[in-house]
Amino acid sequence: MSQQIRTMRQDAWTTEDDSVLAEVVLKHIRDGSTQLAGFNEASRRLGRTAAACGFRWNACVRKQFRKQIEMAKEERKERKSQKIQAQMEGGDYDHPTATLMSWAQVLRFLRQEKNTAQQWASRWRSAERECNEWKAKYERLSKEAASMREELRTLRSDYAAVMEDYRSLVDIVERARKAAFLDGDENSTGFIYRIDEHGNLERVNPDPPAEQQAE
């Protein structure tokens, strides 16, 4: 066994070397770089020439990592699509805080915005109906208030007229009372009182009895 190890070539590729080469090249494929750039980086890590790395990749490693290569290419396409989309949206794909959205996410976002707009439109229509109802109620109450004010004005006018008549009547009664008090008993003196067309109280001599007229 020791003799076999001693006879091995110094530049023989190990399984670990193949794994490092595959890792580096796959990373460059995913990032959209070239395989040549991957060979150059692998050469620095493995201490070999870029040509040796390229030969080893094409002769052996590529066949063992076909599935991983296809997955790396698909990931590269996805990243490229996301970068184009970010540029179309005015974003910066390379910026650490850039927000990337797939078409499904964009569609879902637009649907959410549409639902939100519909909800606000429904709220607006409801508020508009409520506003119209309150406006109609205000106009109806304003008309009722105007009618009540007119009725109140009429009642005050009628009340003032009644009070004026009442005061006139009280004044007439008071003058009649004073006249009766000064002249004595109305029945004994034979005088009566009446109110003229102007509301004044005047004393009227009654007609003498028939017996006195006959004499």
Percent of the chain topping pLDDT 90: 32
Q: Given this model, what pLDDT does residue 30 score? A: 86
Q: Given this model, what pLDDT does residue 3 score? A: 37
Please tell me the total number of residues recorded for the chain in this structure: 215
Cα 30 to Cα 40: distance, rounded to the nearest angstrom: 16
The Cα-based distances of 193 to 166, 184, 186, 198, 206 in angstroms read 19, 13, 9, 14, 10
Q: Average pLDDT for residues 6-13, to the nearest whole number?
A: 56
Q: Given this model, what pLDDT does residue 182 score? A: 62
Q: Given this model, what pLDDT does residue 148 score? A: 93
Over residues 83-136, the pLDDT tens digits come to 766 655 554 445 444 455 567 777 888 888 888 999 999 999 999 999 999 999
Binned at pLDDT 50, 70 and 90, residue 24 comes out as very high
Q: Which long-range contacts (CB under 8 A, 24 or more apart) does 167-176 make?
A: 168/199, 172/199, 172/201, 175/201, 176/201
Cβ contact 91:98 at 8 Å: yes
Q: Given this model, what pLDDT does residue 140 score? A: 92
pLDDT tops 60 at residue 9: no
Q: Indicate the DSSP class of residue 30.
A: H
Task: Please list, in sequence order, all residues whose beta carbon lies within 8 angstroms of the beta carbon of residue 69, skipping any fewer than 6 positions away.
Answer: 26, 29, 62
